[in-house]
Structure 1
Amino acid sequence: MGYTPVIHQDIPLPMSAKPEDHLSPYADALRAHFPAKEDILREAKQQTQQRRQFKKAAVTVASCLLLAIGWLDPVISTDRLHTAIGQQATVQLKDGSEVILNTNTVLVAEQHLRSRQLHLQQGEALFKVKHEWRPFTVYANQAEIRDIGTVFNVRHSPQGAIITVVEGSVEVRTTQEARLLTRDMSVNTQAGAITDYRCTSTNSAIAWQHGRLMFDAKPLTEVVAELQRYHAGPIRIADKRIAQYQLSGEYDINGIDALIDVLPEILPVRVDRHEDQSVVIRSR
């Protein structure tokens, strides 16, 4: 039996195609749907820069808000206090301070976040301030009175204000100047200026709290102006020559009509009363 030898021969096989060759037909479509590596890196860099800018802006806004809060002083509460002619009242404010209102007085008391502001719109008031970190300021006819630990009296007048310190000290400011007042000192303010800066007896300035009126050689014009604050009807001086007559003494604040009636016994005048409660003082 014959034997046929088998001859082995290496036959080259086809090389496998590279993976990317299989995707080549779809490359353009894939690029249209998926960003390139360079685009991804560029986008990441832009987002990082945007985040940094946002953080800087947030820090700036926060700083501005903190600064604004430091300056803002919003009103927390407002109370309007008033008395009628001849009436007096003692009121405790929300901060614990005490205010005594004289006749025919209007006071607006504002409690702010960072301050206490009181506006004396007319009349007269004595302030006993409870000390705390918020400043206590009274405004009266272009005058600004700031408490520095004190008891003080403020009287609103058509021309300005009269400030008298009973205890401690206050700073009085106008549009033109500022003065520091201590105990038993008084000033008048007028047209933005401080006038009549003097030492005084506080007894007469605050006598009204004790139901008294005190006059020390006061001209009749000033006496009548004081009496008018407690009298419903108008009081008028008919003759200019009697306007400078002087009156001294201490009188009951609840007896204004009695004082008017007794004037002819003190000064050379006569008093005419009318049904509308008006009073005319004439020369005798």
Structure 2
Amino acid sequence: MMNLQHDQSGRPEPFAGEDPLSPYTQALREHFPSREEILREAKQQTRRQRRFKKTAGVVASCLALALSWYIDPVLQRESMQTAVGQQATYHLKDGSEVTLNTNSLLIVEQHLYSRQLRLPQGEALFRVQHGWRPFTVYAYQTTIRDIGTVFNVRNTAHGAEVTVIEGLVEVITGTAKQVLSHHQTLRSEAGALSAIRHISAESATAWQQGRLMFDAQPLSAVVAELQRYHAGQIQITDSHVGQYQLSGEYDIHGIDALIDVLPEILPVRVERHADQSVVIRHH
């Protein structure tokens, strides 16, 4: 009687032509992924990486855009200035026009997303060429935002005076905000805004025509205006004299002539000195 031969491990000998590892194939498949599964996982991983990179790129672009809007860097800066008694008109690169009055300084900044102009001293009339960049003027802690207009800004000793010739502007201080329309004017002082006053276009733009207009103005206010166009100091020695009122229309380029004629209009005496200073006394 014949006995079947077994190997020492107890596993039967494979038949001729049979893969010796075939008994282990199923067990290996249960513990290790197949080639197809590896390729499929690799493709899915590649797609996930592409989606992540695309999302990261979009997020980075949005962050960069948001940061640039927040920073709004200066691309170009230039200064414009007039001397005492001088007036000048400048054409900005965006097509806007600025006319500076006597003894004025304007700093024009072209930012990435805005147009910002600073008026540390003096007076300027702005004719704005509208565009997608906001047009903003800063004068003595006051912000003036153009909404579509021609407007005048004067940096006074205590704040800013804003007058709208055409259109609208928004005037902003630390504690107040007001929209002005055409032929309206107001002043800012110590963070507050005065009541709105109406003014004629002729009065608002008189200085551009080389004229000074006074309507029953105290002599102290008249002298303060004349001082802007006069190199020498003009002084009133008596507060009572400063209360005298003056009316009329005068030539900006004839300031000395106006000073000389004051004794013919008011009960005052004018003294001139070698340093171009002027003293106005009671007659």
Shorter-chain TM-score category?
0.7 to 0.9
Which stretch shows the higher mean deviation, 61-70 or 109-118? 61-70
Letter in 2 for 1:240: S
Structure 1 or 2, whichever has the larger Rg, is 1
Q: Are residue 197 (structure 1) and residue 196 (structure 2) matched? A: yes
Distance 1:174 1:231 in 2: 31
Q: 2: CA distance between counterparts of 1:66 and 1:150?
A: 30
Tell me the residue number matched to 1:67. Answer: 66
When residues 84 and 58 of structure 1 are mapped into structure 2, their CA distance, relative to the original with a 3 A threshold, is same
Q: 2:214: which partner in 1?
A: 215
Partner of 2:176: 177
Structure 1 position 112, deviation (Å) = 1.4
SS in 1 for 2:85: coil
Alpha carbons 1:164, 1:202 under 8 Å: kept? no
TM-score, normalising length: structure 1: 0.80
- Aligned residue for 1:76, secondary structure, equals strand
> How far off is 1:202 after superposition?
3.0
The offset of 1:110, in angstroms, is 1.0
- In the other structure, the counterpart of 1:166 is 165
Report the counterpart of residue 13 of structure 2 in structure 1.
Answer: none
The separation in 1 between residues aligned to 2:171 and 2:65, in whole angstroms, is 31
Correspondence for 1:152: 151
Other-structure match for 1:86: 85
Aligned residues: 252
Q: Which residue of 1 aligns with 2:279?
A: 280
Matched, 1:259 2:264: no
The gaps in structure 2 that reach 5 residues or longer are 1-19, 21-31
Deviation track 1:175-194 (CA, whole Å, cap 9, x = no partner) reads 11111111110000001111
Output the CA distance in 2 between the equivalents of 1:72 and 1:106: 25
Distance 2:79 2:143 in 1: 19
Q: How much identity, in percent, do the aligned residues show?
A: 60
* TM-fit CA distance, 1:65: 2.0
Amino acid at match of 1:92: H
Q: Give the corresponding residue for 1:31.
A: none
SS of aligned partner of 1:123: strand
Match of 1:103 in 2: 102
CA distance in structure 2 between the aligned counterparts of 1:263 and 1:237, rounded to whole angstroms:
12
| Partner of residue 185, structure 2 | 186
Q: Tell me: CA distance 1:62–1:204, structure 2 relative to 1, closer, same or farther (3 Å).
A: closer
How far did 1:270 drift?
Answer: 0.2
1:226 Cα deviation after fit = 0.3
Post-superposition offset of 1:52 = 7.4
Whole-angstrom distance in 2 between the partners of 1:109 and 1:87: 19
Give the distance between the partners of 1:174 and 1:196, measured in 2 at CA: 14
| Amino acid aligned to 1:212 | R
Aligned to 1:34: none
Corresponding residue of 2:127? 128
Alpha carbons 1:89, 1:100 under 8 Å: kept: yes
Structure 1 counterpart of 2:10: none
State the Cα distance separating 1:60 from its structure 2 match. 3.6
Q: Secondary structure at the match of 2:196?
A: strand
* TM-aligned CA distance change 1:148 to 1:53, over 3 Å: closer
Give the match's secondary structure for 1:196. Answer: coil
Deviations 1:102-156 (A, max 9, x none): 0000000111121111101100011111111111111111111111111111110
Q: Which amino acid in structure 2 is aligned with residue 174 of structure 1?
A: T
- Structure 1 residues 53 and 149, CA, compared in 2 at 3 Å: closer, same or farther? closer
